[in-house]
A and B are shown apart, each in its own frame.
Chain A
């Protein structure tokens, strides 16, 4: 099955700086890579996703890049704000529907 590794486990950034989270996956057949944001006491919320036929996708302050050859993908958050503080999970879909999640990154944005 798919194995997703995520780094770093914690990330502290100054407000206005950028945050980068990196993930690697093991199954070359995986073709869909969503990112989720989870706030305390809530379920994961989809914030951006990328499919295997695209190398980069951007949505306002959030961007995701994918390198299929190296089997890694990254989340970039620019101009961070205090409300960006949360746990972020990367995931990869194998078997066409089964999400395999990374262990999460706790992002803290210092005001």
Chain B
């Protein structure tokens, strides 16, 4: 069975550029989460979707970050005017229905901003 998949696995970009990171959740999972993991740290919450809507985007660091999930399945995390400090691993997770339950993580996208 397919788990959470993320593309690309690695992304190198230049400061100031725009990037899009994609997440395909486990089929049937209505809840989707984005986390960011800096080197040597635990993942930090960015945004939570329940269905198509962003139920909580309080973890997005600033307005350069935006995420969508237009059909309630695939999600895209968008970063405008990238900065070197945005370099990190961006992790996506999904769970069956949200709430305190199992979140299954994808392998992450490693973003490097030069």
Query: Is B62 an interface residue, CB under 8 A from the partner?
Result: no
**Interface-located stretch among B13-21, B43-51, B63-71:** B43-51
B111 interface contact, C-beta 8 A? no
Name the CB-closest residue of A to B91: A43
Q: Which residues of A contact B35 (CB under 8 A)?
A: 99
**Taking the complex as formed, is A83 at the interface, i.e. its CB lies under 8 A from any CB of chain B?**
no
Select from chain A the residue with minimum beta-carbon distance to B45: A98
**Residue positions of A touching B, CB distance < 8 A:** 4, 6, 31-32, 34, 36, 41-46, 49, 51, 89, 91, 93, 95-104
Do B40 and A104 touch (CB < 8 A)?
yes
| Cα A99 to Cα B36 with chains together (Å) | 12
A31: B residues at CB distance < 8 A: 100
Could you tell me the distance in whole angstroms from the C-beta of B6 to the nearest C-beta in chain A? 8
Nearest CB of chain A from residue B103's CB, rounded to whole Å: 6
Q: Return chain A residues, CB-CB under 8 Å to B98.
A: 96-97
User: Most chain-B Cβ atoms within 10 A of its Cβ — which of A42, A43, A101, A103?
Assistant: A43
Q: A34-B102, A89-B43 are in contact. List 7 more A-B contacts (CB 8 A).
A: A32-B100, A34-B103, A41-B107, A45-B105, A97-B31, A97-B98, A99-B45
Q: How far is the CA of A104 from the CA of B41 in the complex (A)?
A: 7
**B85 contacts the other chain (CB 8 A):** no
A23 to B60, CA, bound (A): 26
Q: CA separation between A60 and B59, bound complex, in Å?
A: 36
**What's the least CB distance linking A87 to chain B, in Å?**
9
**Which residues of chain A have C-beta atoms less than 8 A from B45's C-beta?**
98-100
Is B1 at the interface (CB under 8 A from chain A)?
A: no
Instruction: Indicate if B61 sits at the interface (CB-CB under 8 A).
Output: no
Contact A101 B107 (CB under 8 A): no
Q: Render B15-38 as a binary contact track against A, CB cut-off 8 A, 1 for contact.
A: 000000000000000010101000
